[in-house]
Amino acid sequence: MYLSAAHQTRGQPAASRALLGAIRSFLALGDRLGGAIYRRMLESGDTDPGTRSDTRETIRGASAR
């Protein structure tokens, strides 16, 4: 669902928030696809700094478990 939302809102601020939701979902499931989505988010270059920071904190929290 989050990946679909990110695709449909590409280029808008909502897209990066949707990708963050997807990352959180995959990490909660224990799936490493969250890291690949994070790299995609960084490569896009249109993610606001606040969302990037939230994403880094989410990934660090998941790896600490």
pLDDT by position in tens, the chain (length 65): 778 888 788 888 888 888 889 989 998 898 888 888 888 888 877 788 888 899 889 888 887 76
Give the count of beta carbons closer than 10 Å to the beta carbon of residue 62: 16
- Say what the pLDDT of residue 61 is: 84
- Say what the pLDDT of residue 65 is: 66
For the chain, how many structural domains are there in total?
1
Rounded Cα distance, 27 and 17, in Å:
15
Closest by Cα among 14, 13, 29, 27 to 55: 27
Rounded Cα distance, 25 and 46, in Å:
22
Rounded Cα distance, 65 and 14, in Å:
28
Give the domain extent around 45.
Answer: 2-64
Closest by Cα among 19, 21, 29, 39 to 62: 29
